[in-house]
Amino acid sequence: MNKNRILISTSSFAQYDKELLENLKNHGMEFVLNPYKRVLLEKELVELCRECVGLIAGTEKITADVLRKLDELKVISRCGAGLDNIDLEAAKQLGIKVYNTPDAPTRAVAELTLGLMLNVLRGISKSDREMRKSNWNKPMGTLLAGKKVGIIGLGRIGKEVARLVRAFGAEVLAYDIAIASSNIAIMADLNKLLADSDVVTLHIPSGKEAFIDERKLAIMKAGACFINASRGGLVNEEALYGALKSGKLAGAGIDTFEKEPYQGKLIELENVVLTAHIGSYAKEARALMEKQAVDNLLLGLEVKK
């Protein structure tokens, strides 16, 4: 075992702040970077992290089985807010410290969510595709102003989305199992939110099953738009495809997918905007997330500055 060996499993790291890697070196740390440049499979994670005491983690699944195979692991420093990809109970039982960076990606994800909304409502990507085919078509869109935006999950990102869309003149409905009232949104029953909202956006952690399934899509207002910049697996993608293809939903903007890189049927549809899980991929947000992840790792390993 190398007591200073760590794995950085995120698909990209220190692209905009090279000093982070120098900082690790200056603290005597030996690091391994993700050679696959994508989310690691469980067997790949175990192979790369087997002799590491620390892990700067991305969104890969860190299950109890994985953790039990990493005998030397002492600290997991999640580069991002969500911890739903980590078996926290298993980590606790094994004495592994877990940290995250909850504030750093908030604005970046919220702004992407807003961008997806505006894109879907105005047909921006569709118009761009037509222009590139030399077709001077003018798709008729609709305004965000005056719409009801339903936010499922009123945590840090959900609240920031609420502030942004209110600035556009939208009315905000929200559903959160832990929040009864809010000064930035009208709290609503989930079914009412789905039925009344012109735009529905997800900002909740992953669960064992898809949160948005065929039944919930059926409740949604005809002609509504759906946005997911939260987690892949929260949406039944087959059911979403059906709702978009049939015209039940007017459009969707999707940044996260059950299986990534995504190559599924939604690619076939003109009324969906797809992005490659880029919610936190703003230079400022990534740099801050990565700095905080390094700081948390060194703190957890009790490395003196």
Quick: pLDDT tens for 26-77: 999 999 999 999 999 999 999 999 999 999 999 999 999 999 999 999 999 9
Give tens-digit pLDDT for 82-117. Answer: 899 999 999 999 999 999 999 999 999 999 999 999
**Cα–Cα distance measured from residue 66 to residue 86, given in angstroms and rounded to the nearest whole number:** 10
Phi, psi at residue 271, to the nearest 5°? -95, 25
Average pLDDT over residues 246-251: 98
Question: Is 231 known to be catalytic?
Answer: yes
DSSP state of 90: H
Question: 252 CB contacts (<8 Å, ≥6 apart)?
Answer: 120, 225, 226, 227, 228, 240, 244, 266, 271, 272, 273
Domains of the chain: 5-104+283-300 (3.40.50.720), 106-274 (3.40.50.720)
What pLDDT is recorded for position 15? Answer: 86
**Residue 305 confidence (pLDDT):** 62
Rounded CA gap, 138 and 129, in Å? 12
Report residue 231 as tokens: 């987690």
Length of the chain, please?
305
pTM of the model: 0.89
Instruction: Note whether 152 and 185 are within 8 A (CB).
Output: no
3-state helix, strand, coil in the chain (%, to 5): 35, 15, 45
Contact 203, 152 (CB under 8 A): yes
Q: Which of 78, 107, 203, 277 is catalytic?
A: 277
- Which uninterrupted H or E stretch holds 175? strand 171-175
Give catalytic status of residue 277 as yes or no: yes
Percent of the chain clearing pLDDT 90 (strictly above): 91
Candidates 78, 107, 203, 231; catalytic one: 231
Q: Residue 157 — pLDDT band, cuts 50, 70, 90?
A: very high
User: What's the confidence (pLDDT) of residue 199?
Assistant: 98
- pLDDT for 292 beyond 70: yes
Q: pLDDT tens digits for 168-227?
A: 999 999 999 999 999 999 999 999 999 999 999 999 998 889 999 999 999 999 999 999
At residue 222, the pLDDT reads 98
d(CA 301, CA 45): 20
